[in-house]
A and B are shown apart, each in its own frame.
Chain A
Amino acid sequence: MAQYVKKDDDLDEEAEYSPFSGIDKGAVLQEARCFNDAQIDSRRCSQVITKLLYLLNQGETFTKTEATEVFFSVTKLFQAKDTGLRRMTYLIIKELSPSSDEVIIVTSSLMKDMNSKTDVYRANAIRVLCRITDGTLLTQIERYLKQAIVDKNPVVASAALVSGIHLLQTNPEIVKRWSNEVQEAVQSRAALVQFHALALLQQIRQNDRLAVSKLVTSLTKGTVRSPLAQCLLIRYTSQVIRESSMNGQNGDRPFYDYLEGCLRHKSEMVIFEAARAITELSGVTSRELTPAITVLQLFLSSSKPVLRFAAVRTLNKVAMTHPMAVTTCNIDMESLISDQNRSIATLAITTLLKTGNESGVDRLMKQITSFMSDIADEFKIVVVDAIRSLCLKFPLKFRTLMNFLSNILREEGGFEYKKAIVDSIVTIISDIPDAKETGLLHLCEFIEDCEFTYLSTQILHFLGIEGPKTSDPSKYIRYIYNRVILENATVRASAVSTLAKFGAMVDSLKPRIFVLLRRCLYDNDDEVRDRATLYLNTIGGDGSVVETDKDVKGFLFGRLDLPLANLEASLKNYEPSEEPFDINSVPKETKAQPFAEKKSAAKKPTGLGAPPVAPTSTADSYEKLLLSIPEFSSFGKLFKSSAPVELTESETEYEVNVVKHIFDQHVVFQYNCTNTIPEQLLEDVTIVVDASEAEEFEEVATKPLKSLPYGTPGQTFVAFEKPEGVPAVGKFSNVLRFIVKEVDPSTGEAEDGVEDEYQLEEFEVVAADYMLKVGVSNFRNAWESLGPDFERVDEYGLGPRESLKEAVSAVINLLGMQPCEGTEVVAANSRSHTCLLSGVYIGNVKVAVRLSFGVDSAKEVAMKLAVRSEDATVSDAIHELVAN
């Protein structure tokens, strides 16, 4: 644009010079009138279009009238012969996205260009027309598009094919008619035409499994020219592999050789795509994995950050499922800790934390310490999460890891980061009893100098629960009382509550706590004073407010068993009167989240290396739920709740899964039902259970679900009685019975209902359901303390297995016990393995198991099972489990 060109020395005078400075929408729209001139000035018009595009690009919007006006004058520009101007005309038409009645104005001009002799016109006219067209117009131009797909000019062919990919979303039935032409284009000699044709052809046939499989078979043997097309073919191949393996084929995986061959391709893009595809194969073996890991390892030392990032990110994912396979890369990975690119460094660290063995932890932690100081908080959080899972994996190393956490807790950092550290320490304390006292002291030191009120109050609350149970509760008092002296009112109030909890739980401390609480009566904040007064009166035990010790504890420690939202709603409805508010009137059932929200929450974990899910205790919430149902409240203590077992396939009309709750004399099946049909309301939902194949069980109670609206999960229960303390097993078949009502989704009104049934899959109660996964931090100690009295040892042949790893995890699942000290991980290619398990069997019997596996060249797996427990019959029962 010659008009804009200025001499270079202007730069100094006008540093902020821009050809668009002071641009004004109104003025540009005025200028756009030049499009209507009888004698079109191509250069000037191009400049005005550029200005219009600049405005749109900066986020400026045109009103409907403005856009229409510009569009109409732009259509006049088709009279000009200037190629540059025509290109700009195409661009502005696409940006203005005219409405369908406006499109008609340019259709004939564009159709003329589509048949022009100039390739650039043909290609671009196709793209513009397909972008703005609708279905009716499409049938008119279909003939030309089919021709264009096989046009000998690759740019024209690509334009038509890419437009076809877009149109397939809106007008699939038309685009599907082009498959012969697309098929021909797949054979094109032009690299990108082949890529675009391959993309379109697969999408046309994506629902025809056989056709895709054929396509892959022929292409993997032939020549694919462009790296992009090759990547696409690798993706299709993985899809075919995924689908064929579902048919339960054994032997060599089809197409694996093709993927492996791609690892030797000359383009890095293809090599990486193939390596990634191999690592994502379901049930990939270590033999299959090795060549992929090898090429990724080479990428790790590339000079290009993108290659290093791609490789380390993929290896990080592999480390979650096959940690041993990635250990070969550990040396390269360690050098990446100091990588300039912090994303790469963080991924390297978290990978190392996943693959590291117990002995390497100390060395690794040293390296991380130097690394932590110069990365951003968001990366630090990822590292902290990884360290937490490492600590749970190697409980014996908790000292090193806890020290590390407490050190970084003292350094500078934002709230999210500090919160991640505190959460990790709390998790470790809850899971590793030995770590409790040191962990609590670290937290105490942290609140001495903590700028975040939220964290201080959370820690004080946690201290109140855990502190009194420690060997020397008195040492925490100083830290807590310091808060009362030094902090803001919110923290002071929670410190008062924490003090009171110590007072209530530890009798020896009571007099001293009283002194401290009395001082709080003179606090200048009324909440702090009120709490102090309340606690002094309740634990003071002068008989006026609360009678017994038990009530005090219930009052101070008791959890509010109510969803806060429900309580809030009830309180809002309560009208002040003589009658006091009855907390028992608050509904205990939680309203499920709206369906859409749930779906979005189920999206893939985000961020770097998807942090591992923290172990959460659902047992507590199950127990509360069951105890709140009167029919089941007499069953006693809940022993174990199983993981949900799906009784329907996903995406059926009604989705049902079952959770098996084991009590001493009873089992309760909790059926979680979801209605996925918006037009239906289900009422009186029950499950009819046929227990004819479960002889020892007798049905005693059912709790139907009153109503099951669309998208809100609900529960119905069936309870069975069984012989006390006996691990009875059996098979149960189920039918969902309900009254279905048609609902108008727009108004929510329901019509009269009819009874209906829905067959569900059957499930079993197995011996593993009676085994509680309870880990021990030191297996050797646990093993020795159980003693050899009730030890039972035997050997078993497991027959030919897919791999040693598969055999080990099968036995762990069969026994339902907790693997200890990371022994569930089997080293790649190892011929033998020892696995340590611990658990608690029904009747509170501690069980420890030592499993020794060996595998021979024919993949025959043999196993030696040694069981120790507190009861001979239990030891025998474990052996029976395996023997069957």
Chain B
Amino acid sequence: MEYCPLVKNILLLDSEGGRIAVKYYSDDWPTNNAKEAFEKSIFTKTHKINARTEAEITMLDSNVVLYKFVQDLHFFVTGGDSENELILSTVLQGFFDAVGILLRGNLNKREALENLDLILLCLDEIIDGGIILETDANVIAGKVASHSVDSAAPLSEQTISQALATAREHFTRSLLSG
């Protein structure tokens, strides 16, 4: 496994550092306490930083951590000390954008929790046991949403921007399948 790019964890935390969805692929944090301690220290270290336009990066306990925030959602991807930062950055961007598509542009904690099933499936499509499965956000979201119950929600309940997002999503999907 030493040559294959590996992801150690992917975290989606809220604006207080609480868990929305997390997934660990490495034995570095064997217990839930260790995981929570890691989440706490990375959140404390990064929450004041403006990582809203470009993904930011830092080191923690000889791991490289990349992060990007939007509203009250904090996205993190962790890799080993010697991992190629740009590979990790692609994973973070894929996750971030895929969640954006799945939540139809409404990126906030409440929306994320209401669609937690989609977020969990999204994580499942990005990484399998630390190995990168897919990094293209449209493909990831396409795989998750192709059987989402939610896409059947009546258009009248959607705002205009949601409707646009849905339309865009349908468009990309049709491009991909075609």
* Interfacial residues, chain A to chain B (CB-CB below 8 A): 1-2, 4-5, 11, 17-20, 42-43, 46, 49-50, 53-54, 57-59, 61, 82-84, 86-88, 91, 94, 120, 127, 131, 155, 158-159, 162-163, 165-166, 169, 192, 195-196, 199, 202-203, 227-228, 231-232, 235-236, 239, 268-269, 272-273, 276, 303-307, 309-310, 313, 340-341, 343, 604, 606-608
Contacts and interface: CB of A to CB of B under 8 A. Distances in A.
Size class of the contact patch on chain B? 35 or more
A231 B117 CA distance: 33
Given A20-B113, A203-B1, A166 B87 contact: no
Contacts of B35: 59
Given A19-B113, A91-B120, A162 B131 contact: yes
B116 A50 contact: yes
Interface stretch (B96-104, B143-151, B163-171): B143-151
Interface in B79-95: 81, 84-87, 89-90
B116 A53 contact: yes
Contacts of A158: 133-134
Given A269-B87, A306-B57, A2 B153 contact: yes
Nearest to B50: A340
Interface string B33-72: 0011000000000000110001111110110001000000
B177 to A, nearest CB: 11
B27 interface: no
Query: Which secondary structure characterizes the binding site on chain A?
Result: helix
A151 to B, nearest CB: 15
Nearest to B153: A2
Contacts of B153: 2, 5
A84 B113 contact: no
Contacts of B56: 305-306, 341
A83 B117 CA distance: 13
A755 to B, nearest CB: 41
29 contacts: A1-B117, A2-B153, A18-B110, A46-B117, A53-B117, A59-B36, A86-B147, A87-B121, A88-B117, A88-B121, A120-B146, A166-B129, A166-B131, A192-B133, A199-B4, A199-B131, A228-B5, A228-B132, A239-B3, A269-B84, A304-B89, A305-B55, A305-B57, A306-B54, A306-B56, A306-B66, A306-B86, A310-B85, A606-B61
Contacts of A91: 120-121, 124
Given A88-B117, A91-B124, A165 B131 contact: yes
A196 B89 CA distance: 19
Nearest to A42: B149
A76 B19 CA distance: 30
Contact of B57 (A58, A227, A343): A343
Contacts of B89: 304, 306
Contacts, number: 158
Contact of B110 (A17, A84, A88, A269): A17
Contacts of B174: none
Given A303-B54, A305-B56, 18 more contacts: A1-B150, A18-B109, A20-B113, A50-B120, A59-B32, A87-B121, A91-B121, A120-B147, A127-B128, A192-B133, A192-B134, A228-B135, A232-B4, A272-B84, A305-B55, A310-B84, A310-B85, A604-B81
Contacts of A227: 90
Query: Which secondary structure characterizes the binding site on chain B?
Result: mixed
Contacts of A307: 86
Contacts of A202: 3
Contact of B59 (A20, A195, A343, A604): A343
B107 interface: no
B157 interface: yes
Contact of B19 (A58, A61, A82, A606): A58
Contact of B143 (A155, A305, A309): A155
A303 B54 CA distance: 8
B28 interface: no
Given A5-B157, A59-B35, A269-B90, A18 B57 contact: no
Contact of A50 (B1, B117, B157): B117
A232 B5 contact: yes
B114 A196 contact: no
Contacts of A94: 124
B107 to A, nearest CB: 15
Nearest to A267: B86
B120 A231 contact: no
Contact of A236 (B3, B32, B114, B128): B3
A383 B120 CA distance: 41
Interface in B114-144: 114-117, 120-121, 124, 128-129, 131-135, 143
A429 to B, nearest CB: 31
A273 B5 CA distance: 11
A17 B109 CA distance: 10
A228 B134 CA distance: 10
